[in-house]
Amino acid sequence: MNLVIGIDAGASKTNAVLVRGDGQEIARASAGGANLFVSPLALVARNLQAVLEPLLAHGDVRAVCVGAAG
């Protein structure tokens, strides 16, 4: 199954969604902000890890697309 993760990394929160190749949503995850202009690198990395880990556990992810503020 082809899986894709989309991430919206904003200043106050980060949302991520895992979808199949046909567009069917499989799972979602959210965490705090991931904008390097307002948060330290360690916090940004922690928040990105918090949304990626549970989604990556679903299987073979073929692509990750990120939209980030700043």
Question: What residue ranges do the domains of the chain occupy?
Answer: 3-68
pLDDT for 70: 67
| pLDDT over 70, % of the chain | 99
pLDDT for 69: 77
Residue ranges for the chain with pLDDT beneath 70:
70
pLDDT for 7: 98
* Distance set, CA 20 to CA 13, 26, 36, 58 (Å): 24, 7, 29, 11
pTM to 2 decimal places: 0.91
Residues 53, 61 contacting (CB under 8 angstroms): no
pLDDT for 1: 75
**Thinking of the domain 3-68, which architecture would CATH place it in?**
2-Layer Sandwich (3.30)
pLDDT for 62: 96
